[in-house]
Structure 1
Amino acid sequence: MSMPPADAARTRLAPLAEEDSLSLGERAYRRLRDSIVQGALPPGRKISERSLATALGISAQPVREALRRLEQDGMVVTLPRRGTVVAEVGAAQLAELGRIRAALEGVAAALAAERLATADLAALNAILARMKAGTEARDTEALDVANEEFHALIHRATANQFLIRSVGSLRAYDHLGRHRAVGSTPRDLPKALREHQGIVAALKRRDPALAEARMRQHILRSLVTNGVLPAPPRTRNGR
């Protein structure tokens, strides 16, 4: 089966906005990562620096930087006689990466419990209020935004750049898993809210072990909900 030519990417990618404050390399990386997650650049698609640079309206250098990072993330691969192509990411790999992300998110929560500033806790409370309103309104778009801010704040509070980069790379696979799955139903939303509230309560107590356990449990549960991980076996009492 022949794949579409690399130049087909021109019709799928919008040029980068000039006013964006991020570096060109970072912006190209995020745009290409999101295009892979959303299927605009599907698995097996051959891509080239030149065609991507033309599509994004930038030079080849930041695209080269972005592709290097995507290859480190495992989202693109370089194959003999084919060049750079979008990687095939199967269900088993998504499950493995999901478990790794759950562990790292737990470590991030533990570190944050020790390092969060008072202003950070206030910001988390404000995000929880938005999550509560979004849950009551069943506004999944608002909840997605609040969820991203919630985790990003915890990541920043760790002040550990290696951890922040590692979790950031893995979150792309989380988005890929959610994009492929049916996703949460309205009845799952209150459960997610309670989990976020429990994480914040552990952070307020400055309890690293509890924060880590609650965060890890939350991530694993969300992976099950989104079909990335299988549901755990029921115990004898049906729980």
Structure 2
Amino acid sequence: MACDAAVPIEKLAEEETLSLGERAYRRLRSSILQGALAAGARISERGLASALGISAQPVREALRRLEKDGLVVTLPRRGTVVAEIGPERLAELGRIRAALEGVAAALAAERMSEDNLVTLAQLVRQMRAATAAADHEALAECNERFHALVQGATGNLFLIRSLEALDAYDALGRPRALGSTPKELPRVLREHAAILAALKARDATLAEARMRAHVLRSLVANRVPSPAPRR
């Protein structure tokens, strides 16, 4: 089963139009998030350029962007290495994501078009079918599209970009297959259906509360500990 709602038509042609720097950035980012480049691994500009069949300049550009993302760091005498991100940092960033996603849901409740609400309802139906089939991959895809649609409906570029900047940490902190236990699958479905109901009701306060609670609970479900209190 696949989640086939809201697939952008232009996606297929997108790769052909990317600059070399953008392609290098995406390839490196994907390698880090998928674990092909482990935390602490040294990154050689020359070696990567050779492996990708491009000059060093696009690789250098990609590494600068990855350093801004917090995925690589430059260390004395070691050069550029993949950053190590501990559980406390991931938990803090998860709380920031929960707050921003809550704001996005509130704005979406006020601004979302009826067509977008129809698409969200379609996604929830597909999530229901994926839950019944225990299809973790399809559920994860629908989840990503659900959240992306809510964020896009805000029309707030700053908010959207801020959430995009957190995507890398989210991918590092949570498994790709949403719902790690049998009990988690129906719970995820119920939460998305409840968020949709609040959006349909144009209840910004309720949509924000439900979205924020959903994101915070997902941190616990995926075993990301809360940061220890400072003394």
TM-score where L is the length of structure 1? 0.82
**2:214 matches 1:218:** yes
The structure 1 residue matched to 2:15, chosen from 8, 11, 20, is 20
Identity %: 67
State the AA in 2 paired with 1:101. R
Once the two structures are superposed, residues 83-128 of structure 1 have per-residue CA deviations (whole angstroms, 9 ceiling, x without a partner) of 1110011111111111111111111111111111111111101111
**Alignment correspondent of 1:149:** 145
8 Å CA contact retained: 1:178, 1:226: yes
Residues 1:202 and 1:60: Cα distance change in structure 2 (over 3 Å): farther
Name which of structure 1's ranges 138-147 and 70-79 shifts more when overlaid on structure 2. Answer: 70-79
Equivalent position of 2:7 in the other structure: none
> Taking structure 1 as reference, are residues 107 and 39 closer, same or farther at Cα in structure 2, changes over 3 Å only?
same
Q: Does 195-204 or 171-180 show the bigger shift?
A: 171-180
Matched, 1:178 2:169: no
* Equivalence for 2:124: 128
| Letter matched to residue 117 of structure 1 | S
**Residue of structure 2 in register with 1:80 after alignment:** 76
Question: 1:77, 1:85 within 8 Å by CA — same for their partners in 2?
Answer: yes
Instruction: Call closer, same or farther: CA 1:197–1:183 in 2, change over 3 Å.
Output: closer
1:81 is paired with a residue of what secondary structure? coil
**Matching of residue 167 in structure 1 with residue 163 in structure 2:** yes
Find the counterpart in structure 2 of residue 35 from structure 1.
Answer: 31
**1:148/1:27 CA distance change after superposition, 3 Å:** farther
8 A Cα contact 1:77 1:86, kept in partner: yes
Query: Alpha-carbon deviations, 1:21-68, whole Å to 9, x = none?
Result: 462344433332222122110011111333223333344343333222
Offset at residue 77 of structure 1 (A): 0.6
Looking at both structures, which has the greater relative contact order when contacts are Cα pairs under 8 Å and sequence separation is at least 6?
Answer: 2
Matched residue SS, 1:192: helix
Relative to structure 1, is the Cα distance of residues 30 and 213 closer, same or farther in structure 2, using a 3 angstrom cutoff? farther
What displacement does 1:18 show? 9.0
Q: Distance in 1 between matches of 2:186 and 2:148?
A: 21
CA, structure 1 residues 22+131, in 2 after alignment: closer, same or farther (shift >3 Å)? farther
Contact 1:74 1:87 in 2 (8 A): yes
Q: Report the 3-state secondary structure (helix = DSSP H, G, I; strand = E; otherwise coil) of the residue aligned with 1:220.
A: helix
In structure 2, the CA distance between the partners of 1:160 and 1:63, relative to structure 1 (3 Å rule), is: farther
DSSP-derived class of the 1:77 partner: strand
The residue type equivalent to 1:110 in the other structure is A
User: Do the aligned partners of 2:73 and 2:83 also contact (CA within 8 Å) in 1?
Assistant: yes
Post-superposition offset of 1:19 = 6.8
Quick one: which of 202, 212, 216 aligns to 1:206? 202
Question: What does residue 50 of structure 2 align with?
Answer: 54
Is 1:94 the counterpart of 2:105? The answer is: no
Q: Is the 8 A contact 1:183 1:227 kept in 2?
A: no
Whether the 8 Å CA contact 1:38–1:179 is kept in 2: the answer is: no
